A and B are shown apart, each in its own frame.
Chain A
């Protein structure tokens, strides 16, 4: 608590990820639609919003917060474009909480629309998105990594997994278990793209090798989607119909862009982010009832468990083997199915983890409810294990 004010997450909005999105919307339209849904969820009015957090929008590639304020017809006391990839969601939540606790603003939208825009007549859509900025003139990534094929996340994360297997004991079955148990959770999530497709460990181990040692079913399915939350003062959040979820600890750590230049391939940035988040929250790892960890790949989850301090370094594999990670298990993780089970709704993928834990703490997870959860842990991972954010969330 800073300045006597605390910040809490309240309303939620989440669209089911889809491989093909049949209702194209401009970024500002999608932002507005998510805003309406998240505010309705909390029973709040648009005029109460005075903080805007967004990422770059196709129809507002510059001055995005101003474009959002104008489009939504609100005046903001805080506006920010967050560019931390998969860590954006968790990063937005702590930035909003910090701004609110500092007294800068009262209620923030943290929204990540990620749906295709209507096609522009006469213009072929750009096919350069897969370069992820490496084709920009002067980009180091473009000169020293892209010519060798190190461009998209698959190969970066594969090299993390490969090095981890060299330094520590890790059986392919253990990584497969992460995908399988996430999928079991997804079977009860009506928004999950794989809600009708259970898988076994053998299915994972027999799925095609894509980037050694990662197989197809260990790799997230790219989708379109959209999701977001309202963060406001604890006082205002108490006057909604929803249990306020206090942002009680947070941390962020950024060390590299390309995995080649990471300080370590096997000790990831979440170490510092988690230590800061737990110290700020004043609780230990054992206080966590439910966790939701960014799962672009199975290896991301294993390393995040380990480097968040839930077990000793190198014991991540044993931890996964010894615990039941399903929503009814002894260590519920990614109870929405994870992005591996739900589909990665583009930029919204990271928000699915925030919403997963908030939904549990608000007691709204329906058949996936873990019981009376009081405290949750959320991580976001952006770039190529480049930037990570940890959140400790607490029901009020």
Chain B
């Protein structure tokens, strides 16, 4: 549909570019606090300590589904054509939570607590989104 809003895609900034560059290589990169704790989302300062030294660690891409909803109507215009789809919060093995979509299973089979693993959607040559599917 010509009038449907374009897909919303991330526009990396200097502080977040390493995450999105890794995603393009189908790797899940997590920033670390000065104490070596992974956190999410990447920032120019680690939250809490405000340490500017950002180190990164490669995550396993595994976690559990912490919560989810099914957007039945595409409550935001750019998603109307995709509805119904699952918006989820995944708690990674390494601790942090992130926002994602759950794919690769029927909507009725989605459950909080289910084991999930990262799967990468190459949207175009520039952007890869990190989705999750049942592990």
| Min CB gap B46→A, angstroms | 13
Q: Is the C-beta of A138 less than 8 angstroms from some C-beta in chain B? A: yes
Residue among A140, A152, A208, A212 making CB contact with B41, cutoff 8 Å: A140
Residues of B within 8 A of A258 (CB): 99
Residues of A within 8 A of B68 (CB): 159, 162, 212
Residues of A within 8 A of B69 (CB): 155, 158-159, 162, 211-214
- The answer to whether A143 touches B12 (Cβ under 8 A) is yes
In residues 73-127 of chain B, which contact A (Cβ within 8 Å)? 73-77, 79, 82, 85, 87, 89, 97-101, 112-113
- The answer to whether A147 touches B13 (Cβ under 8 A) is no
Given contacts A149-B79, A159-B69, A166-B112, contact A260 B10 (CB under 8 A): no
- The answer to whether A147 touches B41 (Cβ under 8 A) is no
Residues of A within 8 A of B67 (CB): 159-160, 162-163, 166, 265
Q: Is the C-beta of A373 less than 8 angstroms from some C-beta in chain B? A: no
How large, as a class, is the contact surface on chain A? 35 or more
- The answer to whether A209 touches B72 (Cβ under 8 A) is yes
| Min CB gap A383→B, angstroms | 15
Q: Is the C-beta of B54 less than 8 angstroms from some C-beta in chain A? A: no
Bound-state Cα–Cα, A99 to B114, Å: 50
Bound-state Cα–Cα, A143 to B13, Å: 9
In residues 1-38 of chain B, which contact A (Cβ within 8 Å)? 7-13, 16
Q: Is the C-beta of A69 less than 8 angstroms from some C-beta in chain B? A: no
- The answer to whether B97 touches A149 (Cβ under 8 A) is no
Bound-state Cα–Cα, A209 to B87, Å: 15
Q: Is the C-beta of A63 less than 8 angstroms from some C-beta in chain B? A: no
Bound-state Cα–Cα, A291 to B76, Å: 33
- The answer to whether A155 touches B112 (Cβ under 8 A) is no
Bound-state Cα–Cα, A148 to B11, Å: 14
| Min CB gap A154→B, angstroms | 5
Residue among B74, B82, B99 making CB contact with A150, cutoff 8 Å: B99
Residues of A within 8 A of B76 (CB): 130-131, 149, 151-152
Residue among A130, A137, A147, A260 making CB contact with B77, cutoff 8 Å: A130
Chain A residue at minimal CB-CB distance from B96: A261
Bound-state Cα–Cα, A148 to B75, Å: 12
Given contacts A162-B112, A163-B66, contact A149 B10 (CB under 8 A): no
Bound-state Cα–Cα, A152 to B74, Å: 10
Bound-state Cα–Cα, A62 to B69, Å: 37
Residues of A within 8 A of B40 (CB): 144, 261
- The answer to whether B99 touches A260 (Cβ under 8 A) is yes
Residues of A within 8 A of B7 (CB): 147
Residue among A131, A138, A149, A163 making CB contact with B13, cutoff 8 Å: A138
Bound-state Cα–Cα, A259 to B73, Å: 20
Q: Fill in one digit per residue for A323-355: 1 if any B CB lies within 8 Å of its CB, else 0.
A: 000000000000000000000000000000000
Chain A residue at minimal CB-CB distance from B121: A147
Bound-state Cα–Cα, A186 to B3, Å: 39
Residues of A within 8 A of B16 (CB): 143
- The answer to whether B71 touches A211 (Cβ under 8 A) is yes
Chain B residue at minimal CB-CB distance from A214: B69
Residue among A152, A155, A211, A260 making CB contact with B97, cutoff 8 Å: A260
- The answer to whether A210 touches B73 (Cβ under 8 A) is yes
Q: Is the C-beta of A269 less than 8 angstroms from some C-beta in chain B? A: no
Residue among A138, A148, A163 making CB contact with B129, cutoff 8 Å: A148
Residue among A138, A148, A155, A158 making CB contact with B100, cutoff 8 Å: A148
3 smallest beta-carbon distances between A and B, as pairs: A158-B69, A163-B67, A143-B10
Chain B residues within CB distance 8 Å of chain A: 7-13, 16, 40-41, 43, 66-77, 79, 82, 85, 87, 89, 97-101, 112-113, 129, 131
Chain A residues within CB distance 8 Å of chain B: 127, 130-131, 134-135, 137-138, 140, 142-152, 154-155, 158-160, 162-163, 166, 208-214, 258-261, 265
